Structure 1
Amino acid sequence: MILESKNIRLRLVEESDAEFILSLRLDDRYNKFLSSVSPDIEAQKDWIRKYKDDEHSSIQYYFIIERLDGTPCGTVRIYDIGNDSFCWGSWILNENKTRYAAIESAFLVYDFGFKQLGFNKSHFDVMKGNKGVINFHTRMGAFKTNEDEINEYFEITAEAVKNAKEKLADKLR
């Protein structure tokens, strides 16, 4: 499965992506707001092998974000798929990203969740110090539903995403 936009695509993670994923997860420029992982490449490969069972059972989907020339530039995961909503996270973009990779990858995630999985809303959490990501989501139309000492919790509707997409159409062509 490949989801594609103007400058990037999302493709499902494969075991061969383990080294790239670890390079992102262990890089201090990108991991400040992520859960820690073991630096063991075999443990990452094992996690991907187990994840593939979840993918086949439609429990979660883990994507590599790559430029259209095939250069990987990030990851994003869809998980906590419930009765009326899906969650997304593990969203990392590195220095190889395209100018609008954040917007394009977010819209690809929403297209997948709303159009392919059939949901009308999405939920997610963002660590409190991650102001850039919080601002990104609120500008897209997400609203805060709760918070705790570590995270702020958000929801966004398919309608809000549709409106954001219309406002940003010129950047997506």
Structure 2
Amino acid sequence: MILKSKTIQIRLVEEVDADFILKLRLDKKYNLFLSDVSPDVKAQKEWIKKYKNDEANSEQFYFIIERNDGTPCGTVRIYDLRENSFCWGSWILNEDKTPYAALESALLVYDFGFNQLGFEFSHFDVRKGNEKVISFHKKMGALKTGEDDLNEYFIISKDSVLKIKKKLSVKIQ
């Protein structure tokens, strides 16, 4: 399965992506606001193998973000599927990303969660101090629902995303 936008696409992760994922997750430029991961490629491949069972059962979805020329530039994951809401995270984009990769990948995630999985809301957390990402989500229409010592928690509705998509379309034309 591949979901495409103007400059990027997302596809489901495979075991062969383990090296790329580890490189991203272990890079100090990108992992400041991520949970720790083992530097063991074998362990990453085993995690992906286990994850593929969850994917087959529609319990979570882990994507590689690529430029439309096939160059990998990030990851994003959909998980914690609830009655009417999905969570997304593990969102990393490297220096190979396109200028609009953040916006495009977020919109592809929302399109998948809202239109393909049928949810009306998305919930997610952002590590405190990750002001750039917090600002991005607020501009998209996300509402803060709480916080703890580590994270700020947000929710966004399908309607809010549709409004921002409409607003962006007007600006682009």
TM-score by length of 2: 0.98
CA distance in 2, matches of 1:75, 1:166: 26
CA distance in 2, matches of 1:76, 1:140: 17
Paired position in structure 1 for 2:101 = 101
Amino-acid identity (%)? 68
SS for the counterpart of 2:146 is strand
CA-CA distance at 1:86 after TM superposition: 0.1
Paired position in structure 1 for 2:138 = 138
Checking the alignment, whether the CA contact within 8 Å between 1:113 and 1:119 is kept in structure 2 is yes
CA distance in 2, matches of 1:170, 1:5: 17
Q: Unpaired runs of 5+ in structure 1?
A: none
Moved more, 163-172 or 20-29: 163-172
SS for the counterpart of 2:118 is coil
CA distance in 1, matches of 2:96, 2:7: 12
Cα deviation, 1:72-116, whole Å, max 9, x if unaligned, reads: 000000000010100000000000000000000000000000000
Checking the alignment, whether the CA contact within 8 Å between 1:104 and 1:172 is kept in structure 2 is no
CA-CA distance at 1:167 after TM superposition: 1.6
How many residue pairs were aligned?
A: 173
Correspondences of 1:1-173 after superposition (within 5 Å): 1-169=1-169
- What one-letter code is carried by the residue in structure 1 that aligns with 2:52? K
Checking the alignment, whether the CA contact within 8 Å between 1:24 and 1:30 is kept in structure 2 is yes
Checking the alignment, whether the CA contact within 8 Å between 1:85 and 1:119 is kept in structure 2 is yes
Q: Unpaired runs of 5+ in structure 2?
A: none
CA-CA distance at 1:169 after TM superposition: 2.1
- What one-letter code is carried by the residue in structure 1 that aligns with 2:119? F
Alignment CA distance shift 1:171-1:35 (3 Å): farther
CA distance in 2, matches of 1:171, 1:51: 39
CA distance in 2, matches of 1:90, 1:43: 17
SS for the counterpart of 1:168 is helix
Checking the alignment, whether the CA contact within 8 Å between 1:62 and 1:78 is kept in structure 2 is yes
Alignment CA distance shift 1:26-1:172 (3 Å): farther
TM-score by length of 1: 0.98
CA distance in 1, matches of 2:172, 2:57: 32
Alignment CA distance shift 1:89-1:111 (3 Å): same
RMSD value, Cα: 1.2
CA distance in 2, matches of 1:37, 1:106: 23
CA-CA distance at 1:171 after TM superposition: 7.4
